[in-house]
Amino acid sequence: MGKGYFKIKSGDKFMSEQVTTEAEIVIEPQLRVEHIFRDIWRFRDLLWILAERDVRLRYKQTVIGVAWIVLQPLLASLIFALIFGVFARIPSDGQPYLLFVLCGMTAWNFFSSILQRAGNSLVGNGFLITKVYFPRAIIPLAAGLGSLVDLIVSLTVVFGALTLYHICPGWRVLALPLFCIMLIVAAVGASLWLSALMVYYRDFMHAMPFILQIWMYITPVVYAASLVPAEWIIYFSLNPAFVFVEGFRWAILGSNVLTWPMVMVGTASSIFLLVSGVIYFYSVERNFADVV
């Protein structure tokens, strides 16, 4: 409700009348795909700046710098190869266990790094959210974009290890970008969910390591998917990480575990994760500045 005055001209005189008006204006954001991508495209420079800043800060004032990108998957693969390949003698579908684990770790590390960095990104950049307007999805997307550097370097290590074992990838390696896209779609969808939930429920910040640990156990990172009973394989494929980890091995090592039904189920799960993440993120985005 608002009060105001208006003047009515009558002859040569003006008469002032006090009026009372009531008006209620509700502005609702339009959740349309074209609007979402349009806003993100308009702020693409900010997306690039935040991604570059994330990469710089990650390795600033470190002794060995970006070498951590190589050491992390390589050392983890060596440990897993020793424990599970030598001591436990877990089968690796006829492939050298080190290469088998290194392919799985490359895909999984990229996926989990996006979730970890993007999940904490909104809370960590709260000072930006409260000061200026921009599409809030820019922040988790920038955190995930910075992880592409890790993936490129890790894949270089994988192909370098293939030369040491005198293994030449076949034509299947051409499908590797498709599995990378599936990985990115699933990771972006999951990160939108986690980053938005973490703004409202800080418990997710403490639960994140536990969630990723459980997720890794149900993903064939250190064990072969062939160990899963055939009647359960389609249900395990609902986990998109299950499919793109095996997809990396199928494309690089020539594994024969992956099937078309698994790919279709995993792709559908990735798309569902992305669509639901976008819908939830933009439905709660309006209150971020008040809560963060």
Whether pLDDT at 8 is above 80 = no
Q: Cα angle vertex 265, ends 269, 81, to 5°?
A: 90
- Model confidence at 29: pLDDT above 90: no
pLDDT tops 70 at residue 65: no
On whether residue 25 sits in a domain, the answer given is no
Task: Taking residues 83-112, report their average pLDDT.
Answer: 88
Q: Which residues is 16 bridged to in the sheet?
A: 7
Q: What's the mean pLDDT in 65-87?
A: 81
44 near 142, Cβ under 8 Å? no
Tokens of 132: 């200026």
- Note whether residue 6 is domain-resident: no
Residue 152: the pLDDT is 87
* Mean pLDDT value across residues 43-71: 78
Count: domains in the chain = 1
Query: Does 5 fall in a domain?
Result: no
pLDDT single digits (tens) 30-55: 555 556 778 788 888 888 888 888 88
Check residue 35 and give its pLDDT.
Answer: 66
Residue 34: the pLDDT is 58
CB 112 within 8 A of CB 212: yes
pLDDT category of residue 6 using cuts at 50, 70 and 90: very low
The reply to whether 66 falls in a domain is yes
Q: Is residue 126 part of a domain?
A: yes
Torsional sign, CA 245, 249, 251, 257: negative
Is the pLDDT assigned to residue 125 strictly greater than 90?
Answer: no
Q: What is the overall mean pLDDT for the chain?
A: 82
CA 208 to chain CA centroid, nearest Å: 13
Domain assignment of residue 3, yes or no: no
CB distance 123 to 201 below 8 Å:
no
Q: Is residue 204 part of a domain?
A: yes
Query: How far is Cα 264 from Cα 268, in angstroms, rounded to an integer?
Result: 6
Range of the domain at 242: 31-291
Report the pLDDT value the prediction gives residue 92, as an integer from 0 to 100.
Answer: 83
Cβ atoms 161, 81 nearer than 8 A:
no
46 or 15, higher pLDDT? 46
Residue 31: the pLDDT is 52
User: What is the model's pTM?
Assistant: 0.81
As a whole-number percent, the residues of the chain with pLDDT over 90 amount to: 30
- pLDDT tens for 174-202 read 999 999 999 999 999 999 999 999 888 88
Evaluate whether residue 117 is within a structural domain.
yes
Structure tokens at 49: 């700046």
**Which of these, 251, 233, 282, 228, lies nearest to 104 by C-alpha position?**
251
**Higher pLDDT, residue 204 or 171:** 171
Q: CA–CA separation, 122 vs 128, rounded Å? A: 9
In 3D space, the residue among 185, 76, 205 whose CA is nearest the CA of residue 141 turns out to be: 185
pLDDT in tens, 211-250: 898 999 899 998 888 888 888 999 999 999 999 999 999 9
Q: 218: helix, coil or strand?
A: coil
